[in-house]
Structure 1
């Protein structure tokens, strides 16, 4: 297994820089201490979602009797939808209704660090699907540990992006963030097509047969 592909896919899906505007909006009115606690909780929560998906995600789909090929096709579709949202400079795994719902839950007492920052703005179905698909491809315990380690990388990337949120917003501006989001969306779309093709070939082996001359 190419160990770089999962990390590239995760960085494209999670896209911490693209979530910076939402972090700034959701933490308006907070003190600096509250904002730092929020970014710490969000970073740790993102790691937890990725780590649990890598360790237990495969067992969960087996429990429900879902084949990995079917999951690959479904995950590929989710990734492609996320990529299309990103190409339109929208959050990869959320819609406006998700953000509004997140605000409502936050008002009810839930931490914005978990909802909606971590779920669904940072991690969501596409992230979980990606980790399960790549976990199935691991052949050694070391490769599996590397996948969990990528959760640490994503957590650190999220922490650094949110820590520098104010400076990033000033340097990139809304146009720069939109460009970054679209670029990651293009990369993610290519990976989604690859996952879809791999899953469809497993479900329908005839697709891999050479064409008659």
Structure 2
């Protein structure tokens, strides 16, 4: 069973990390914390990561229930989530200053760790779609609990890596430079688009199978 859960863990981790995309959050994080010292930045990074982890946890266990209330199938979630991921992937190929800079005028008393860092920068529609899309694949595994544990562990690791990137944001930007961050972001965008297309394909195939349509590949 472990051999089946490892690919789920790796896929969930890489997809979540790519969608959260710490390199895209870095410029906003540095702008919002320009008046903080290293300890203050680490505290804000920790709180933002904690909020993100809690949101992932909520949608992991209650997201499907919400979908059932609104009568949306998991196959449709895969298709919609794949479209969202593909769109995000394409957007990562080009600079997106307008989408991020709108949040740079937060007031001094604002909880920037939750808004805008946790939501919507770190936990946006792409992460919601990814979590629900991964949950939709659990039905293929013999152990449902094992599937949830794999996704939960992947989400925790992705958030931890994001925290490290934010906690050491100053050094990371100085080491990579703007050109390096831009290159990494564009590479990430390509893989996010590929993951999105894969989700759309699997969702369409699953939906066709649910309605008794057999497709021979």
User: Conserved in 2, the CA contact under 8 Å of 1:15 and 1:181?
Assistant: yes
- 207 and 5 in structure 1: CA distance in 2 versus 1, 3 angstrom threshold: farther
Q: 1:25 to 1:203 in 2, by over 3 A?
A: same
* Cα-to-partner distance string for 1:72-119 (whole Å, 9 max, x where unaligned): 1111111011101111143xxxx725642x345x32843111111111
Q: How many residues align?
A: 205
CA distance in 1, matches of 2:41, 2:108: 19
Q: Please say if 1:19 is aligned against 2:21.
A: no
> 5+ unaligned residues in a row in structure 1: which ranges?
none
What pairs with 1:167-182 in structure 2 (closer than 5 Å)? 167-182=171-186
Aligned to 1:119: 119
Q: Deviations over 1:105-136 (max 9, x none)?
A: x3284311111111111121110111111112
- TM-score under structure 2 normalisation? 0.86
Alignment of 1:52-71 (within 5 A): 52-71=58-77
Secondary structure of 1:160's aligned partner:
helix
- Flag structure 2 segments of 5+ consecutive residues without an equivalent: none
CA 1:137/1:34 → structure 2, altered by over 3 Å: closer, same or farther?
same
1:36 equivalent in alignment to 2:38: no
Question: 2:12 touches 2:155 (CA, 8 Å); kept in 1?
Answer: no
Q: Tell me what 1:153 maps to.
A: 157
In 1, Cα distance between equivalents of 2:173 and 2:32 = 14
Give every structure 1 segment of 4 or more consecutive aligned residues whose post-TM-superposition deviation is greater than 3 Å.
204-208
Root-mean-square deviation (Å): 2.1
